[in-house]
Amino acid sequence: MSLHRGGRDVKPLSALRLHQLDEFAPSVIDVPDVRYAGRCPVTGDELSMRPTPAVIAEAIRLQHYLNTCRNTAEGFSTSHLLEPAAGKMFGVMLCRDTDGSHGTLRAFSGEWETWESPDGWVPSSGYLAEYAADRRNTEARVAKLTRQIDDLNTRPTSRPLQREIEAIKIERGRLSRALTDRIHAAYRFENALGEVLPLTEVETGSPRPPTGMGDCCAPKLLQAAIRHDLVPLGMVEFWWGSPSAVHPRVEDTYYGSCRSKCYPILGFLLRGIDAARVRSS
């Protein structure tokens, strides 16, 4: 893994909403034993961030807000998260801005119903504009090829027909892989020390990064804070919506960061963060 130095290409600060703290939040609150950790690529030490009472108070506030949006017909709605296996992780980070004021950032894992982030939520860690046009064009071409395959499969089978189907599948796969490479190239993580780590250089033990790497809540929150000169003070993630088909998540339950997608990134993102705890290797 090699670290680079580079400038930042950030979303305008006015477009990133820092939520004000709830002045009526309880002063005494239980803090779950969860953490968001990764190994520093320079020192080898494990760096981690944990929730604080203020973070949990704001997470409870967000849970209440998500509940109010269950049956919303217009604007921000969480109704689709109640469909089978459609729930998501949500995250809250307590930050301090350059004026010394405190507030929170909010995130959800992956994409929303559309791949544009709704107002009031941190954006993707990747620079979406770099591949937006390619994504639209490629997805349209892949859908067209899939319809061709479906049409051919309705015809009487023959060897020439099977060769034609196979050729279309190969082309569809080529287009999908090219788009994936384009998307991966648009993910370049930046930490508070000004270092840059391209997703393609993150050590994952596989030739390609896992799907969705960098768009879990913890890396999205850290990356948004760093790019907008906010100081992270604590964070937490919880599940909301129906259980996942893969992981038996429970709604409103707090969870730590995942090992496969987050751990290889968080150690880099937490470099230079004063609130990060250090566990020597």
Provide the number of structural domains found in the chain. 2
Question: Is there a single domain that holds both residue 251 and residue 204?
Answer: yes
Residues 159 and 192 in one domain: no
pTM > 0.75: yes
Strand stretches in the chain, DSSP E: 4-5, 19-20, 36-39, 46-49, 88-96, 102-108, 188-190, 195-198, 231-240, 254-255, 277-279
Are residues 99 and 143 both part of a single domain? Answer: no
26 plus 104 within the same structural domain: yes
Residue 97 sits in the same domain as residue 142:
no
Provide the residue range defining the domain that includes 151.
135-177
In the listed set 143, 177, 211, which residue is the last one of a domain according to the structure? Answer: 177
Whole-Å CA distances, 47 to 52, 98, 264, 269, 274: 16, 24, 11, 9, 11
At 7-28, the pLDDT tens digits run 444 444 445 779 999 888 887 8
For the stretch 84-134, pLDDT in tens is 989 999 999 999 999 999 999 999 999 887 656 788 999 999 998 898 889
pLDDT < 50 positions in the chain: 7-14
What's 244's DSSP letter? Answer: P
Same domain, 23 and 109: yes
Q: Would you state the structure tokens that stand for residue 227, as one six-digit string? A: 């790019």
Instruction: Let me know whether 165 and 218 are in one domain.
Output: no
